[in-house]
Structures are given as structure tokens and as C-alpha cells.
Amino acid sequence: MKYSGKIVLLSRTAYLSGRDDGFLRQLCDARIELFCVLGVDAQAWEDALDWMCIGEDGQGRHCIVTTSHRDESLAQVIDFAQRFDTRMAHAVQVIER
């Protein structure tokens, strides 16, 4: 799957490493610039991508700005992502998992 540089994840399930790390690695490999999460276990999703980007050696592979949005609507998070300034212009891509 091709990913935009700005991802909004609407999480329907709790983060599970064995199930979800492949998806997060794909986002790292796609070199996205912004990852916003709302919904179930949003903070855990954000933390998992942060740790993945840092890498086992602590050197970091790619810097991705991550945010979790508790008590915000999908429309509010999309608006935030649209307004967030990134190096390149990107459309906001909403993914449900």
C-alpha cells in the first residue's frame, strides 16, 4: 500500500506488537512525516511508532512527528493534520485499524 506523508490512524483495536508492528514498519519505510492517532489505545500506538523509529541501536532511522488525540473527533484530528506544516506538501490519509 502507498502511504501519504500525513497519516491519521483511527484505531478500533488495542495495539498488539505481533499484529501491528508490520504496519508501523511500513509507515517508517514510507518515510511519512506525521502520524496522528485517535481511538482505542492511541497512546500505545504512538509510543510503538516512536520506539520503532528510534531503533534498537538508539540511532533512529527516520524522524516522524507522532501525536495522540484523546477526546478529539476525527474531523478535529484531520484538521490538525491538514494544518501541520511538513517539509513537503501531503494529503491527509485516514486509515482505520
pLDDT digit string, tens, across residues 29-71: 999 999 999 999 999 999 999 988 876 555 666 789 999 999 9
Computed on alpha carbons and rounded to an integer, the radius of gyration of the chain in Å comes to 12
Nearest to 5 by CA among 21, 29, 22: 29
pLDDT recorded at residue 96:
97
What residue has cell string 508501523? 24
Tell me the whole-structure pTM to 2 decimals.
0.92
For residue 63, what pLDDT is reported? 84
Whole-number pLDDT of residue 35: 98
Q: Which residues pair with 65 in a beta bridge?
A: 34
